[in-house]
Chain A
Amino acid sequence: NAGVTQTPKFQVLKTGQSMTLQCAQDMNHNSMYWYRQDPGMGLRLIYYSASEGTTDKGEVPNGYNVSRLNKREFSLRLESAAPSQTSVYFCASRMTQGETYGYTFGSGTRLTVV
């Protein structure tokens, strides 16, 4: 089915390890986003890419980097994982940045840092 695909679905890291979360969409959407979801805090925007070739910081970018590899793919990298980065990570995409367009979300990556 068309949509947003995230890999992996689950990951356990040791403090200080690095990893990259992958995200790909096949809907020809221009804008892509990374959110984290923590209990009691809703969703918080980490980084976004309004269009291919651009990336911008969101509300909680510290400790993360992103790459918009092409129009389909937007990856999130943790260079040195910390326990505070234990969370569920969601990738999302939208057709454009216009405010009337909703998001399509991936199914999430549950990350635990020990």
Chain B
Amino acid sequence: GDSVTQMEGPVTLSEEAFLTINCTYTATGYPSLFWYVQYPGEGLQLLLKATKADDKGSNKGFEATYRKETTSFHLEKGSVQVSDSAVYFCAPQYNFNKFYFGSGTKLNVKP
């Protein structure tokens, strides 16, 4: 069935390091792809999205490209900051009521 596999955490990086969080989805259908971020004690916030193949979503220095051939939507950032410490969720949506969330990847950024 439809699902999403997300890189396990926690991921610990030093400030200004390069970040990649892997996400792959099952290829039944043609989902829209989302990344959400959850800061401590808060709800999830939409970070970026891509709705068709080869689209690149971007926000706050984060980017992810919709790769249909590899069914992936990896999150990247060139230089992380301490304020990026949070939990990141990959979330493909297949149709109006099939919206899956990955298990989340916790990112810790050290000064």
Q: Which residues of A come within 8 Å of B, CB atoms? A: 4, 40-43, 45, 48, 50, 56, 90, 92, 97-100, 102-108
**Contact indicator A42/B89 (Cβ below 8 Å):** yes
Say yes or no: A98-B46 contact (C-beta < 8 A), given A41-B103, A42-B89, A43-B89: no
Min CB gap B28→A, angstroms: 13
Per-position contact with A for B52-80: 1 when CB-CB < 8 Å, else 0? 00000000000000000000000000000
Say yes or no: A102-B103 contact (C-beta < 8 A), given A90-B44, A97-B97: no
> With contacts A48-B97, A102-B46 known, what are 5 further pairs, Cβ within 8 A?
A41-B103, A99-B51, A99-B93, A105-B43, A107-B41
Say yes or no: A42-B104 contact (C-beta < 8 A), given A105-B45, A108-B42: yes
Name the one of A40, A48, A103 contacting B44, with C-beta atoms under 8 angstroms.
A103
Report the bound CA distance from A98 to B94 in whole Å: 10
Chain B interface residue bracket vs A? 20 to 34
Residues of A within 8 A of B49 (CB): 100, 102
Residues of B within 8 A of A4 (CB): 43
- Contacting residues of chain B (80-108) with chain A, CB-CB under 8 angstroms: 89, 93-97, 99, 101-104
Residues of A within 8 A of B103 (CB): 40-42
Say yes or no: A106-B94 contact (C-beta < 8 A), given A41-B103, A42-B103, A43-B101: no
